[in-house]
Amino acid sequence: MIKSNSLFKKIADNDSPRRWLVLALIRAAAVITCVVAAVFFLIRIVPGDPAKMILGEHSTPEAIQALHHSLGLDLPLWEQFTRFVQNLFTHGDTGASIAWGTSTRELIAERAPVTLLLIVMASVLAILVALVLATLAATNKDRLLDHLIRIFPTITLGMPVFWVGLLLILFFSVRLGWFPVGGVGEGVAGTLYSLTLPAITVAFSQIPTLVRSLRAQMLEVLESDFVVTLKAAGIPNRVILTKHVLRNSALPTLMLLGVNISYLIGGTLVVEQVFGIKGIGSLLFSAISKRDFPVIQGIALYCAISVVIISLLIEISSWLLDPRTKGKQ
Amino acid sequence: MSKFNAFQRKTFWVGSLVVLLMVVLAGCSGSKNDSAQNTGTNQSANQGTDTSKNTEPPATGGTFTYGRPASVTSFDLHNQITANNAFAIDKVFEPLVAFDSEGKIVDWLAKSHTISTDGLTYTFVLRDGLKFSNGTEVTAEDAVFSIQRHLTVGGPLAIAAQVASLKAEDAKTLVITLKEPYTPFISELTNFSNGILPNKFGGVTEEEFFKNPIGTGPFVVEKWDPAGDLTFSKNPNYWQEGKPYIDKLVYKLIEDDSQAINQLKAGEVDGIETLALGNANEVKQGPDTTVATNGSWVTEQLFFNTLDKHFSDIHVRRALALALDRDGLTKALTFGYAQVANSLLPPAIPYNTNDTIKALNHDEAAAKAELAKSKFPDGFTTKLLVASGNSTRAQEAQIIQAAAKTIGINIEIESVELASFRERFFAYDFSAMLNSGQADSPEANSILAFQTDPNGFSKSYWTHYTNDEVTKLLIEGQKTLDGAERGDIYAKLQQILADEVPYIPLYYPDIITGVRSSVEGLVVLPNGSLRFEDVRIKK
């Protein structure tokens, strides 16, 4: 990964999965520690006081002081940090929310499933659409269809997510009444149904980059010698495309997808806000505006862990697609 | 290659067809689900009409879903102040006296009240047969306990009167005596924070009690997520017979404004609490939606830091007031949902002098002459602090900026996020700012004490405005019994403020609530709360 990491490479090259796992975990722990520490100090540097957000303009100095004391915000910064770390290890929690009073862990556990489901739905949708569009474009290189498909990402990339979401709501929910305007429905079917428009909105922002990357890779593979050889050997086109071309061009797109999904873990904020979904993104938004320190820290921790897990999963799936990359990532 | 492509295209057209089919299927199963949901709500609404044996109006039953921008985080009435909690607390706990939609004080849990002529003794007699939602009788001891806890806790709406004693004379009679007269007391008792709860929390701990609060209000908490929605069901023991008409009241958390409006339009909610001025007419003219409005206790203002280098000069403040066309500003920004402000006190508050006061009205020549008298006759550059996220305020700032420019004052608009905004003005770290002042009860003192008392924690609303004459009048007003004499005091006080301009009152915004056209009988109170016990949903 990094050139100076020759030791890492050496151990990884030894091809012991257990060793690889140990190294990956050490790396993950380092990343998570850095994120948590950085967020802890950053949010305290930013102006704004949770006590004043609760008490509003009736915050008498006594009331502020009393609230600070009960929240432990009157302690020196270093002591606050050690308490925070202690709490993290003894209770596995970043503390009780200042604004809502409930445990941060519970708040996140309650809201994470919706956001994760939204990300999965959006990613599946984005992959399906990207596969179709990229294949059509690559196999019709420089024809009208290819040009149309290549214009599409340029346009959609320029459309802000909240605007796409609002348009979808206005048309499909308010005008046609096909989908709920917002919120999350009850039961599995209700949830999936209510998340359809949000998922399309998220997918909209993901599709352009995926199509571009996949199309470029497919073109490269389609023109490579081994495809010509396969064709010359009389292998059916369907087999060539699905077994060889797609598989060989999927790798960079998979990496890109990994980056996209990692971004979405905390980045569905705008979509959740527009569609009134009570997920991680909207929780983060309220927590930041209320300066709810424990919740902000909790979400940062959750995002860091999720991103690390996703990058591990992507790494593993890239091995499966192309065993040559094993240990090289 | 062409053969390849032909084949390719075929398979992928088939592929895309499959995808399309899936989308359509998803849509279908979805709409089925939707209709199921709809029949669900219809049923519950019909149950209500069935019980009234299909006699057309008045309709009863059903659920009222109310979209609100912030969740209910606590029912502890003595420790809360913000609207998200206040407007839920007042559904569960009710005070002895209350205010109506005109802001008039009326008996509520008390069937009568008397104030002695010396202004020291307040006697309340409770209604007969008054019960808490759990069925136990309400006694004067409960009232003593409730007010005593408020006195002990203090909190953001602390009782300002000097209470000498609190006594239950008999099961139904409560007597409060004060150490010295404090006329605003009766109106402060109308606050949600003076609601009545069971003596000793009905035998449970404080913490448990506020998780499952018991009061006399029209609604009972059924399901509550402090970071999400709240469901109330009707209180079967409510003292106003036959009310509430609806079975359930749901507070649905919708943080985004346009999401709230769209849910209202689509009928997913029956009402929304906040409606930006710019969207009011769109909702009013919608086929299935309308607005419920009322005058408010709010005065939108431009505040000056009187410790500031420039704004400590009275002539500068007066010049800016004269340069500003408040009439034009109000018309441009509020779409008819506000009244131009002349006095600090809004018309919905007793003793306001909005119609009689001599305010500094727009006059560019006079403004220039006034600035010439100041220490900065050639103008200067200053900053205006505004909280971001409020489009009306952003435009307000621009209008003020343009007006100031006409007399040579160059204003830079500084827009910061709400938490930083509060941090800044609490520390007097501003030259001028846009904000609003609000009364908590129908009482002149409520706004005046907060905005003119340099010894209070708010230091004349962080303007640090200090005028001994004003402070004297403020205290006199608190001790003078209601009547013409008190009116004179407040008229004088408001005139001094209009002349010395520690702040420029701009306009009094209306309360605007978006509702479905099927909603009847909604009472909008001047503090922004709604009386849901009077609501009916027409089907």
Higher-confidence position of B313 and A27: B313
Surface of A (27-66) touching B: CB under 8 A: 46-49, 52-63
Residues B380, B404 contacting (CB under 8 angstroms) = no
Task: Output the pLDDT for position B49.
Answer: 35
Question: Worst-scoring range by mean pLDDT, B30-39, B166-175, B521-530?
Answer: B30-39
Task: Output the pLDDT for position A166.
Answer: 85
My answer on whether omega of the bond before B58 falls inside 30° of 0, hence cis, is: yes
Which range scores top for mean pLDDT: A121-135, A297-311, B460-474?
B460-474
Which residue on chain A is closest to B253 by alpha carbon?
A276
Question: Worst-scoring range by mean pLDDT, A262-271, B211-220, B312-321?
Answer: A262-271
Which residue on chain A is closest to B224 by alpha carbon?
A100
Higher-confidence position of B326 and A186: B326
CATH code of the region B298-510: 3.10.105.10
DSSP state of A96: B
From chain B, the residues in CB contact with A231 under 8 A are 4
B160 Cβ neighbours under 8 A, 6+ residues apart = B182, B184, B185, B188, B449
From chain B, the residues in CB contact with A291 under 8 A are 419
CB spacing of B458 vs A57 below 8 angstroms: yes
Would you call B473 helix, strand, or coil by DSSP?
helix
| Interface membership of A152 toward B (CB under 8 Å) | no
Question: Worst-scoring range by mean pLDDT, A94-103, A209-218, A233-242, B341-350?
Answer: A233-242
Residue among B457, B455, B424, B438 at smallest CA distance from B305: B424
Residues B442, B297 contacting (CB under 8 angstroms) = yes
Kindly state the tokens that stand for A224: 């490579």
Which of A59, A107, A282 has the CB atom closest to B255's CB atom? A282
* Pairwise CA distance, residues A197 & B240, whole Å: 45
Residues B452, B497 contacting (CB under 8 angstroms) = yes
Helix then strand then coil, in percent of chain B rounded to 5, is: 40, 20, 40
Residues B519, B277 contacting (CB under 8 angstroms) = no
Residues B233, B220 contacting (CB under 8 angstroms) = yes
Average pLDDT for B260-289: 91
* Pairwise CA distance, residues B439 & B297, whole Å: 5
Q: Does residue B15 register a pLDDT over 80?
A: no
User: With bands split at pLDDT 50, 70 and 90, how would you rate the model's confidence at B337?
Assistant: very high
Identify the bridge partners of residue B387 per DSSP, sorted by sequence position. B416
Task: Output the pLDDT for position A60.
Answer: 80
CB spacing of B419 vs A48 below 8 angstroms: yes
CB spacing of A181 vs B268 below 8 angstroms: yes
Q: How far is CA A248 from CA A220, A233, A314, A324, in A?
A: 10, 19, 16, 12
Would you call B98 helix, strand, or coil by DSSP?
strand
> Left, alpha or beta for B71 (phi > 0: left; psi -120 to 50: alpha)?
beta
DSSP secondary structure string, B274-311? ---HHHHHHHHHSSSEEEEEEE-SEEEEEEE-TTSTTT
CB spacing of B258 vs A166 below 8 angstroms: yes
Task: Output the pLDDT for position A4.
Answer: 47
Residue among B289, A184, B149 at smallest CA distance from B163: B149
> If you search the block for the tokens 């009482």, which residue do you land on?
B443
Which residue on chain B is closest to A58 by alpha carbon?
B156
Which stretches does DSSP call E strand in B63-120?
63-68, 97-99, 105-107, 110-115
| Interface membership of A112 toward B (CB under 8 Å) | no
Q: How far is CA B414 from CA A232, B401, B424, in A?
A: 70, 11, 11
**Amino acid at site B316:** V
Average pLDDT for B202-221: 95
Higher-confidence position of A215 and B230: B230
A181 Cβ neighbours under 8 A, 6+ residues apart = A169, A173, A174, A275, A276, B259, B262, B263, B265, B266, B268
Residues A43, A291 contacting (CB under 8 angstroms) = yes
Task: Output the pLDDT for position B56.
Answer: 55
From chain B, the residues in CB contact with A189 under 8 A are 29, 33
Which of B30, B71, B262 has the CB atom closest to A178's CB atom? B30
User: With bands split at pLDDT 50, 70 and 90, how would you rate the model's confidence at B43?
Assistant: very low
My answer on whether omega of the bond before A198 falls inside 30° of 0, hence cis, is: no
Q: What is the pLDDT of residues B157-176, one digit of tens each?
A: 889 999 999 999 999 999 99
Kindly state the tokens that stand for B229: 């929605």
Q: Which residues of B7-17 are buried (b: 16+ CB within 10 A; e: fewer)?
A: ebeeebeeebe
Residues B166, B250 contacting (CB under 8 angstroms) = no
Q: What is the pLDDT of residues B391-417, one digit of tens each?
A: 889 999 999 999 999 999 999 999 998
Q: Which of B9, B10, B34 to mutate to test the interface with A (most CBs of A within 10 A)?
A: B34
From chain B, the residues in CB contact with A166 under 8 A are 258
> If you search the block for the tokens 């909209």, which residue do you land on?
A204
* Pairwise CA distance, residues B94 & A39, whole Å: 43
Task: Output the pLDDT for position A271.
Answer: 87
DSSP secondary structure string, B119-135? S-EEEEEEPTT-B-TTS
DSSP secondary structure string, B3-42? HHHHHHHHHHHHHHHHHHHHHHHHHHHHHHHHHHHHHHHH
Q: Does residue A108 register a pLDDT over 80?
A: yes
The ipTM value here is 0.74
Residue among B329, B335, B331, B327 at smallest CA distance from B279: B335
Residues A79, A156 contacting (CB under 8 angstroms) = no
Kindly state the tokens that stand for A105: 């862990």
Average pLDDT for B92-96: 97
Q: Does residue A201 register a pLDDT over 70?
A: yes
Task: Output the pLDDT for position B53.
Answer: 42
Kindly state the tokens that stand for A90: 């003894």
Which residue on chain A is closest to B459 by alpha carbon?
A60
**Amino acid at site B119:** G
Question: Worst-scoring range by mean pLDDT, A108-117, A138-147, A292-301, B117-126?
Answer: A138-147
DSSP secondary structure string, B237-286? T-SSTT---SSEEEEEE---HHHHHHHHHTTS-SEES---HHHHHHHHHS
Share of chain B above pLDDT 90, in %: 75
Which residue on chain A is closest to B35 by alpha carbon?
A178
| CB under 8 A, 24+ apart: contacts of A265-268 | A265/A115, A265/A119, A265/A302, A265/A303, A265/A306, A265/A307, A265/A310, A266/A299, A266/A303, A268/A115, A268/A118, A268/A119, A268/A202
The stretches of chain A forming alpha helices (DSSP H) are 6-13, 17-45, 50-55, 61-71, 77-91, 104-139, 144-157, 161-168, 187-194, 196-222, 225-232, 237-239, 246-267, 269-275, 280-289, 293-321
Instruction: Domain ranges for chain B, please list them.
Output: 298-510
Identify the bridge partners of residue A283 per DSSP, sorted by sequence position. none
Q: What is the pLDDT of residues A38-70, one digit of tens each?
A: 888 888 888 888 888 877 777 788 888 888 888
Which range scores top for mean pLDDT: A238-242, B50-54, B57-61, B503-507?
B503-507
Residue among A175, A146, A321, A177 at smallest CA distance from A245: A321
Would you call A204 helix, strand, or coil by DSSP?
helix
Question: Worst-scoring range by mean pLDDT, A64-68, A156-160, B55-59, B136-140?
Answer: B55-59
User: With bands split at pLDDT 50, 70 and 90, how would you rate the model's confidence at B41?
Assistant: very low
CB spacing of B9 vs A139 below 8 angstroms: yes
Identify the bridge partners of residue A151 per DSSP, sorted by sequence position. none
Q: What is the mean pLDDT of chain B?
A: 88
User: With bands split at pLDDT 50, 70 and 90, how would you rate the model's confidence at B21?
Assistant: very low
Q: Does residue B477 register a pLDDT over 80?
A: yes
Share of chain A above pLDDT 70, in %: 93
- Taking each helix axis from N to C terminus, what angle separates A246-267 and A196-222, rounded to the nearest 10 degrees? 150
Question: HSE (CB half, 13 Å, CA atoms) of A14?
Answer: 12
Q: What is the mean pLDDT of chain A?
A: 81
Which of A48, A60, A192 has the CB atom closest to B423's CB atom? A48
DSSP state of A103: B
Which of A56, A101, A135 has the CB atom closest to B81's CB atom? A56
Residue among B274, B293, B280, B303 at smallest CA distance from B389: B274
The pTM score is: 0.81
Task: Output the pLDDT for position B515.
Answer: 95
* Pairwise CA distance, residues B187 & B183, whole Å: 8
Which residue on chain B is closest to A135 by alpha carbon?
B12
CB pairs under 8 A between A and B: 156
| Interface membership of A175 toward B (CB under 8 Å) | no
CB spacing of A56 vs B457 below 8 angstroms: no
**Amino acid at site A329:** Q
CB spacing of B227 vs A63 below 8 angstroms: no
Question: Worst-scoring range by mean pLDDT, B104-113, B155-164, B201-210, B484-493?
Answer: B155-164
CA distance to partner chain B, nearest, from residue A328 (Å)? 34
* Pairwise CA distance, residues A120 & A125, whole Å: 8
Q: Does residue B433 register a pLDDT over 50?
A: yes
CA distance to partner chain B, nearest, from residue A277 (Å)? 9
* Pairwise CA distance, residues B87 & B74, whole Å: 11
* Pairwise CA distance, residues A113 & B442, whole Å: 46
Question: Worst-scoring range by mean pLDDT, A174-178, B262-266, B445-449?
Answer: A174-178
